[in-house]
Chains A and B, each alone.
Chain A
Amino acid sequence: MKMPTRTAASALALILGTAGFAAAEDVRVTVAEYSSLTGPYFEEAAAAFEEQNPDIDIQIEVVPWDVLLQKLTTDISGNANADLSIIGTRWLLDFVDSGIAAPLDEFMDDEFKGRFFEAFLSPSMMDGKTYGLPVAASARAMYYNKDLFEQAGIETPPKTWEELSAAAEKIAALGDETYGFGLQGKEIETDVYFYYGFWSNGGELIEEDGTSGLDTQAAYDAAAMYKSMIDSGLTQPGVTSYSREDVQNLFKQGRVGMMITAPFLATQIANEVPDLNYGVTAIPSGPDGARGTYGVTDSIIMFENSEHKEAAWKFLDTLFSQEWRSRFTGGEGFLPVQGAVADEPAFADNEVLKEFTNLLPDARFAPVIPGWEEIADITSSAIQTIYLGEGEIEPTLNDAAARINDILK
């Protein structure tokens, strides 16, 4: 069969013409799904932006957190990545080293930079260049159940780990179904839960000489302290089967007295169990008054191979305006990363958030080093071995430190 040439040509012209008209400029954005509100929020922001900029078409791809890194890896290796993406700031080094993230300084003016808190912008700066903008920020503080505290006759929330142990003992004595201290021992951030005690004892993840701090007295003491709480029944039983969400569920059920976690638990409690009588306080300090909370930021990056950098930047400018930041931060239960947002009454007068922001001077971010995920995994495994009682504290930690030092070399 022979197709009439003229028809084919005109059809082709029509297709090309329509395409040229409709798809002015596509900007693809990969976003992590923090909660069920994330997708709708970004869709709404994109719609509002497209109204202002009819020549730009924003495409939002929502990806669950657990598979985000896997998706990005696959996309990048197949050269099919989006123009913008949310990433964990702790991954940023790899993205910068491989030339995948584009520096944003050429787009940023002082007004734009001035919108952010320095503390949250600095983790995404490398070699004097800014490679990411903090899209979500979080720290950890201790939640405690006021009703359980009252039943156990505890007046004030514990300020030190010693007081925490004593309080946990009283709460655990209330009955078989309540536990003093909720201890996470499974999946993401198992290592972080250990660092709270470790930092309080004066430990550092990476020592000044560039080696792991797991083979120091601070680590031994922290591990011994957690292990003795497990052994004397102050924690929930079977800690190695409790992920962060599992412990949070126990807290929501009013069955653990204390746990350390992120601001989003307050948002979840407000939605799911508004009657729960709880308070938020600082992470307990160690014998010398040292303490540390874990600070986390996620950044939004622009890909070096993006062909729509200008348009993508325009969208970023909208996303990081006070209006959209305020909605995102409030909806997801994160900490404000911008001064103007933090000053809004909804955030400034929020007692729970205040506790978290007060802790920020003690906040430590995951070290920006290659192989951090593997180091975290080695640490988690060592900690689990100790929790289970399958290894002596010192040899287990020394062994883990040796393996981490191999990676750090």
Chain B
Amino acid sequence: MKRSALTNPYILILPGVLLAGFIVIWPLVQITEIAVSEVNRFGQLRGFAGLENFVAVVTDPAFLGACWRTFIWTVAIVVGSIAVSMPVALILNEDFHGRGIARIIMMLPWAVSLTMTAIIWRWALNGESGMLNSALKALGVIDTNIQWLAQSSTAFPMQIMIGILVTMPFTTTIFLGGLSSIPDDLNEAAQLEGASPWQVFREITLPLMRPFLNIAVVMNTIYVFNSFPIIWATTQGGPANSTDILVTHLYKVGFRFGKLGDAAALSLMMFAALLVLTLIYVRLAMREDKS
């Protein structure tokens, strides 16, 4: 059969490609232009700068610390949210009374804006009038107030915990979708053979959930790597930049210090890093699938 030109697959995906190009490539070109230019604080180009902006970003004393914390931040939240969401999804997948309500409660935090959640946590973590301290005091866990946000050793773990909490609904949703695609008879058959619940999980559920795990890892990595509100609303990256990750550092460089050239260079570098990480992960995941 001869295909008409109009049903050629390339023609058919052309509108989508154009749209994606407009949304992704055009800003990328703009950012690249700013990154290699001398720019004033209002984004007006003042000449070619070569790699100067990139050098300025890398030699900034706050840069390496922010890179390292971005790594911890991303890994901790992605791994942590998967570790928490998996059991939650397994429970919500069971048939029990009130499952509908339980699922809705699980999803609710998703509906609240991230900034709102972060601000409420800022209040809760307040050293003198915060909910967390008064709750811990009432339970007799602590005697004196803990100033959660005063130093990074308590602030950063708290921020990661908030990050895990807000990432959970999305991750659980993906997992629930995955679990519902596993036919029940597989589980039943295994149980008849005398498999323990742990064995069922390890040998049946987990392998079948692989693609969904991969999606959760990739999507969450992208979200979390670029997640701004939690850290900004609680500490603005402070004290003394000790809770800065790349994206809060980027905001300061761009909008506070007005170095838009440096900011453009930094965001290109972040984009590249994210792209490479995602590609590597997708590659690894696919190879595993084949073998």
Interface flags for A374-409 (1: CB within 8 Å of B; 0: not) read 100100111011011010000000000001000000
Closest to B148 in A: A241
B16-24, B252-260, B275-283: which lies at the A interface? Answer: B252-260
CB-CB < 8 A to A78: which residues of B? 43
Chain A interface size band reads 35 or more
CA A239 to CA B151, docked complex, whole Å: 10
- The 16 sampled A-B contact pairs (Cβ below 8 Å) are A69-B255, A73-B41, A73-B43, A73-B255, A78-B43, A94-B40, A237-B145, A237-B150, A238-B150, A241-B235, A241-B239, A249-B129, A380-B238, A381-B238, A382-B240, A388-B151
CA A390 to CA B238, docked complex, whole Å: 13
A98 at interface, CB cutoff 8 A: yes
- Establish whether residues A373 and B257, one from each chain, have CB atoms under 8 Å apart when the complex forms: yes
- Establish whether residues B41 and A374, one from each chain, have CB atoms under 8 Å apart when the complex forms: no
Whole-angstrom distance from the CB of A90 to the nearest CB of chain B?
12
- Establish whether residues A94 and B41, one from each chain, have CB atoms under 8 Å apart when the complex forms: yes
B149 at interface, CB cutoff 8 A: yes
Q: What 11 additional pairs, Cβ within 8 angstroms, besides A238-B127, A373-B257, A374-B257? A: A73-B255, A74-B43, A76-B43, A94-B258, A185-B239, A186-B149, A238-B149, A241-B148, A373-B258, A385-B239, A388-B151
Whole-angstrom distance from the CB of B151 to the nearest CB of chain A?
6
The answer to whether A73 and B260 touch (CB under 8 A), given A237-B145, A240-B151, is yes
- Establish whether residues A186 and B239, one from each chain, have CB atoms under 8 Å apart when the complex forms: yes
Interface size in chain B (residues, C-beta < 8 A): 29
Closest to B257 in A: A374
A189 at interface, CB cutoff 8 A: no
Interface flags for B228-250 (1: CB within 8 Å of A; 0: not) read 00000001101111000000000
A70 at interface, CB cutoff 8 A: yes
Cβ < 8 Å to B, chain A residues 45-88:
69-70, 72-74, 76-78
Whole-angstrom distance from the CB of B102 to the nearest CB of chain A?
35
CB-CB < 8 A to A185: which residues of B? 150, 239
CB-CB < 8 A to B252: which residues of A? 377
A187 at interface, CB cutoff 8 A: yes
CA A388 to CA B242, docked complex, whole Å: 11
- Establish whether residues A240 and B256, one from each chain, have CB atoms under 8 Å apart when the complex forms: no
CA A314 to CA B188, docked complex, whole Å: 81
CA A118 to CA B149, docked complex, whole Å: 42
CB-CB < 8 A to B260: which residues of A? 73, 77
Closest to A246 in B: B126
A192 at interface, CB cutoff 8 A: no
Closest to A387 in B: B239
Whole-angstrom distance from the CB of B115 to the nearest CB of chain A?
12
Main secondary structure of the interface of A (DSSP, over half): helix
Tally inter-chain residue pairs, CB-CB below 8 A. 101
Closest to B42 in A: A76
The chain B residues found within 8 Å of chain A, CB to CB, are: 40-44, 61, 126-129, 145, 147-151, 155, 235-236, 238-241, 252, 255-258, 260
CB-CB < 8 A to A76: which residues of B? 42-44
- Establish whether residues A241 and B240, one from each chain, have CB atoms under 8 Å apart when the complex forms: no
- Establish whether residues B42 and A240, one from each chain, have CB atoms under 8 Å apart when the complex forms: no
The answer to whether A388 and B240 touch (CB under 8 A), given A237-B147, A246-B126, is yes
CB-CB < 8 A to B61: which residues of A? 403
- Establish whether residues A241 and B149, one from each chain, have CB atoms under 8 Å apart when the complex forms: yes
Q: Which of A100, A237, A387 contacts B127 (CB 8 A)?
A: A237
The answer to whether A384 and B239 touch (CB under 8 A), given A73-B258, A371-B257, is yes
A140 at interface, CB cutoff 8 A: no
CB-CB < 8 A to B40: which residues of A? 94, 97-98
The answer to whether A241 and B127 touch (CB under 8 A), given A77-B43, A100-B42, is yes
Interface flags for A218-252 (1: CB within 8 Å of B; 0: not) read 00000000000000000011111110001001100
Q: Which of A100, A236, A377, A387 contacts B128 (CB 8 A)?
A: A236
Whole-angstrom distance from the CB of A76 to the nearest CB of chain B?
4
A255 at interface, CB cutoff 8 A: yes
CB-CB < 8 A to A100: which residues of B? 42
- Establish whether residues A390 and B42, one from each chain, have CB atoms under 8 Å apart when the complex forms: no
- 10 closest Cβ contacts across the A-B interface? A238-B147, A77-B43, A238-B150, A384-B239, A240-B239, A241-B150, A241-B149, A76-B42, A384-B240, A70-B255
Interface flags for A341-356 (1: CB within 8 Å of B; 0: not) read 0000000000000000
The answer to whether A240 and B258 touch (CB under 8 A), given A94-B41, A250-B128, is no
CB-CB < 8 A to A385: which residues of B? 239-240
Whole-angstrom distance from the CB of B137 to the nearest CB of chain A?
12
